[in-house]
Chains A and B, each alone.
Chain A
Amino acid sequence: MKLQRKNGLRATALGALAISGALVLTACGSDNNTATGPDGGDKTNAASNIKCDEAKGQILAAGSSAQKNAMDLWVKNFQAACSGVEVNYQPIGSGGGITKFTQGQVAFAGSDSALKPEEVEESKKICKGGQGINLPMVGGPVAIGYNLEGVDNLVLDSATIAKIFDSKITKWNDPAIAKLNPDAKLPSSSIQAFHRSDESGTTQNLHKYLSDAAPADWKHDPKSKSWLAPGGQAANGSSGVAAQVKQTQGSIGYFELSYASSQSISTVKLDTGAAAPVEATSENASKAIAAAKVTGTGKDLALSLDYKTKAEGAYPIILVTYEIACDKGNKAETLPTLKAFLNYTASEEGQKVLTDAGYAPLPAEIATKVREIVPTLS
């Protein structure tokens, strides 16, 4: 007796449909950095000062999803000012962006961290006579968000944050927290710490901050993009962590500031050693970026951030994303558009837009350097 397979096949077909449907959905759904701040795109008079020069046609770019919301604004304004020009930025993650760049598929890549030496070597194949350079473009504070009823002004320092995320402090009324918050009514409930389940530059920057500012309490690899500390719970993407913190009593987590402001999650004030605890704001992040040193040579502007800064009002848990392009040997057909676009993003006007999207503008000194270098790209 033969089994009639018609229905079996139909089930398989439906299964295949389901799987391919999922693939299609995930292809565009992995970076759901939705709902950030007020949409500032229309506030600035978009057509005003953007120089289009000889920009034409379409350029492709890809990389960090941390700067996606800034890119969206920039692209919108740029395209509104320069007719017939299209900038297509795919937020596929820094690693993917750099890979696409070194394969010559994109005009520039966005990345949460500067190119590694071996990646610079590889970029020389694409940049005829030159190499890939890092141009800092978007800064942003990484906020420590928390959800604790009755506690409004939580102050923590780097050592306490390290111990909380490392599962060494597990109760909200721990003496270390109480000492920093003498006036707060801290409950005796357990702390539910949330971290990212995916790899991300946000995690990496928090790692770097903790190992620099609290070396005694944070022993994990600072360069890792994935979470290494034991304990705690994980969620996918900044949006996932923010959602978990929002709905879980007694929780704490980290994400870009825009997620905190859009979902009205309280953020921790940092006791950095400055006179007053520092709040996570765009302005305070800019102050901390100003303490960074340029470590790149020549046209490369890779930054070394000072996570230990004690400057007044400087919020040191920061993320700087770079645009990576060739200093020499960019493709002739995309070069004019590339330069025009980066000219705009580095301009005062372009940087001003960042605050609206929950990012931090570059401090004047660094922004000036970027503005000097972009026109020299060839």
Chain B
Amino acid sequence: MDTATTTSVPPPRAPQQTGTTRGKPRPGDRIFLGMSRGAGIFLLVIMAAIAGFLAYRAGIAISKDDANFLTTSEWNPAGDPPVFGIAVLAFGTVVSSVIAMVIAVPVAIGIALFISHYAPRKLATPLAYVVDLLAAVPSIIYGLWGAIFLVPYLDGLNSWLAQYLGWTYIFEKTGEGPARNLFTVGILLAIMILPIITNVTREVFLQVPKMHEEAALALGATRWEVIRMSVLPFGRSGIISASMLGLGRALGETMAVAVVLSPSFIISGHLLDAGGGTFAQNIAAKFNEADEFGRDALIASGLVLFVITLLVNGAARAIIARRKEYSGANA
């Protein structure tokens, strides 16, 4: 059974099933085949060109970098000698995205389950639509909303966390100032990626074979048991792919982060202290004033984001591929 992820490939022989002219493909089929093959190759060429461009420009910058590009916590490509590294950016990008995922995935699954299995039909459709709309809000709007509305509210949460959970190190607050930190960015990103994860997850939940659910109900399972034993296992790979889509957006989010975060080139495990930075935010902040070499340096950092995204997607595909055969639908 096709587990129906967004990454699944249509069976290559599909056109031949049209029947009447078996063995002798019709011209339309061949044209369509050529077009789709051409489109596929075109996409690969574009990706290769982007990667080549990034690698070329990044190479120029990295070869002149006076410090270790991967481990330096400083960004001064205009300096003499130029010194820049992506350690802070990689840390900030990953940490804020992880916070976003930790918050968004459970909530998204909850919303998706509610819409698909609990809510009355009259409520489910508008609710799904509202979640859809959340995805249509431009990220700069999220940023402004975050900076003006969210940050003052999170100040309270921050001091509460610092007071009662300060002993955990990550919630220890060593500096003062408003909540313009990676934790706030994580919460904002969670809200931003919620609609993508929710939508895809809901779609997958709706695809659970009715027979499975009815069979479970017939055996006397409660609604929660139905969800636990048939819906969630069936949707697992779908949930993972949805989460990866969301993670992709969180990793690359630019404007919202640039507006909300108070960046600094320090790696700190204290999530409530202002500071840190992300790849996209740093590029947005530095690109305008950077000279040619500074831009190459930013492109080099962008290349690292590209690689991180590739790794994440690769890992997600590996997980999905491994789970395919054990998917609940076959069990």
Report which A residues bind B (CB closer than 8 A). 1-5, 7-8, 10-11, 14-15, 17-19, 21-22, 25-26, 29-30, 65, 92-96, 98-99, 116, 119, 190, 192, 197-201, 221, 223-228, 230-236, 240, 244, 248
Contact = CB atoms under 8 A, between A and B. Distances in A.
Contact of A1 (B1, B76, B254, B292): B1
Nearest to A64: B289
Contact of B80 (A92, A95, A223, A240): A223
B72 interface: no
B136 A17 contact: yes
A234 B264 contact: yes
B99 interface: no
Interface of B: 1-2, 4-6, 8, 74-76, 78-80, 132-133, 135-141, 175-178, 180, 195-196, 199-200, 203-204, 207, 209, 238, 249, 254-255, 258-259, 261-266, 274, 284-292, 294-295, 329
Contact of B258 (A1, A224, A236): A236
B6 A18 contact: no
B122 to A, nearest CB: 19
A95 B195 contact: no
Given A3-B203, A198-B286, A226-B76, A18 B136 contact: yes
11 contacts: A14-B136, A22-B138, A22-B140, A65-B288, A95-B295, A197-B261, A199-B294, A201-B289, A225-B289, A230-B266, A233-B274
A5 B200 CA distance: 9
B200 A199 contact: no
B132 A198 contact: no
Given A14-B195, A26-B284, 8 more contacts: A10-B132, A11-B200, A15-B196, A25-B140, A190-B176, A223-B79, A226-B286, A244-B178
Contacts of B132: 10-11, 14
B203 A234 contact: no
Contacts of A232: 264
B308 to A, nearest CB: 19
A200 B289 contact: yes
A3 B78 contact: no
Contacts of A65: 288
A3 B288 contact: no
Contacts of B264: 227, 230-234
A95 B294 contact: yes
A2 B136 contact: no
Contact of A95 (B5, B285, B288): B288
Contacts of B80: 221, 223
A199 B286 contact: yes
A85 B264 CA distance: 44
Given A226-B286, A235-B262, A2 B176 contact: no
Nearest to B258: A236
A192 B177 contact: yes
Given A18-B138, A21-B138, A248-B177, A197 B263 contact: yes
A225 to B, nearest CB: 5
A197 B257 CA distance: 12
Contacts of B74: 228
Contact of A8 (B200, B263, B290): B200
A234 B139 CA distance: 20
Contacts of A14: 132-133, 135-136, 195
B288 A15 contact: no
A30 B288 contact: yes
A172 B289 CA distance: 33
A248 B176 CA distance: 11
B75 A92 contact: no
A240 B259 CA distance: 9
A228 B203 contact: no
A205 B290 CA distance: 16
Contacts of A4: 203, 207
Nearest to A223: B78
Given A3-B203, A15-B196, A190-B176, A228 B288 contact: no
Nearest to B252: A19
A92 B295 CA distance: 14
Given A3-B4, A11-B199, A99-B292, A234 B263 contact: yes
B78 A7 contact: no
Contacts of B133: 14
A95 B288 CA distance: 6
Given A225-B289, A233-B274, A11 B79 contact: no
